């Protein structure tokens, strides 16, 4: 049940919160206890879940093409486009622009 609440909360709040502590608080658990439960149950740490969900939604928005990169950064609550670019590249290996161009040319 804890893992279900964590994943549901993450899907509902990925665009505003990327802190494991936030989701642990929502489940009334300590950060370390919630991390252990999520990792034991799913095989992924809460941090990995947060990155996966955030980058998945970012990829979807980039693929859809209806928003520019600055708008996507704002939608995902990054303080600046640069911060979003750095986060996306760190976790996917591609800049948002390169990802979008790769998707368009498939």
Alpha carbon distance 61, 57 (integer Å): 6
**Interatomic CA distance for residues 67 and 27, integer angstroms:** 33
- pTM: predicted TM-score of the whole model, two decimal places: 0.88
- Residue spans per domain, the chain: 2-46, 50-104
Q: Is the dihedral of CA 66, 71, 73, 78 positive or negative?
A: negative
Homologous superfamily (CATH) of 50-104 is Homeodomain-like (1.10.10.60)
The whole-angstrom separation of Cα 79 and Cα 103 is: 25
- pLDDT (tens digit, 9 = 90+) per residue, 45-103? 999 999 999 999 999 999 998 999 999 999 999 999 999 999 999 999 999 999 999 87
The yes-or-no verdict on residue 105 having pLDDT over 70 is no
Instruction: Quote the CA–CA distance of 30 and 80 in Å, as a whole number.
Output: 30
pLDDT tier at 40, thresholds 50, 70, 90: very high
Q: How many CB atoms lie within 10 A of CB 96?
A: 23
């Amino acid at each position: 049940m804890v893992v279900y609440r964590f994943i549901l909360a993450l899907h509902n709040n990925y665009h505003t919160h990327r802190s494991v502590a936030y989701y642990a608080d929502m489940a009334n658990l300590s950060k370390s206890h919630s991390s252990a439960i999520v990792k034991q149950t799913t095989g992924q740490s809460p941090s990995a879940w947060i990155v996966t969900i955030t980058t998945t939604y970012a990829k979807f928005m980039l693929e859809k093409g209806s928003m520019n990169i600055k708008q996507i950064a704002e939608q995902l609550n990054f303080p600046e486009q640069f911060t979003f670019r750095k986060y996306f590249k760190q976790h996917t290996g591609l800049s948002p622009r390169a990802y979008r161009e790769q998707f368009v040319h498939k």
